Amino acid sequence: MSNFASTPKNFAPSETTLKITQVRSSIGRKPQHRETLRSLGLKGIGKTVTRSADAVTVGMVNSVSHLVKVEEVD
């Protein structure tokens, strides 16, 4: 059923950089999850942002891990 590569909820704050891509729609999701996506700078499916892996960003990614794909960038 799942054609999407979701992100496991196991990211921890570190000194790395994260490449965050939205892979699922925010339509029909909880308002709090939609606001989290907007706070990350994601405005639609396929959009990608680069953020440092600080505690705030990691917490947001973990709360919407079912909607995004995360890769570590060196």
Domains plus CATH for the chain? 17-73 (3.30.1390.20)
Torsion sign over Cα 45, 17, 15, 69: positive
H helix intervals, 1-74: 31-40, 55-63
Range in 1-5, 34-38, 66-70 the model is least confident about? 1-5
User: Looking at the predicted structure, is the pLDDT value of residue 11 above 80?
Assistant: no
Q: What is the pTM of this model?
A: 0.84
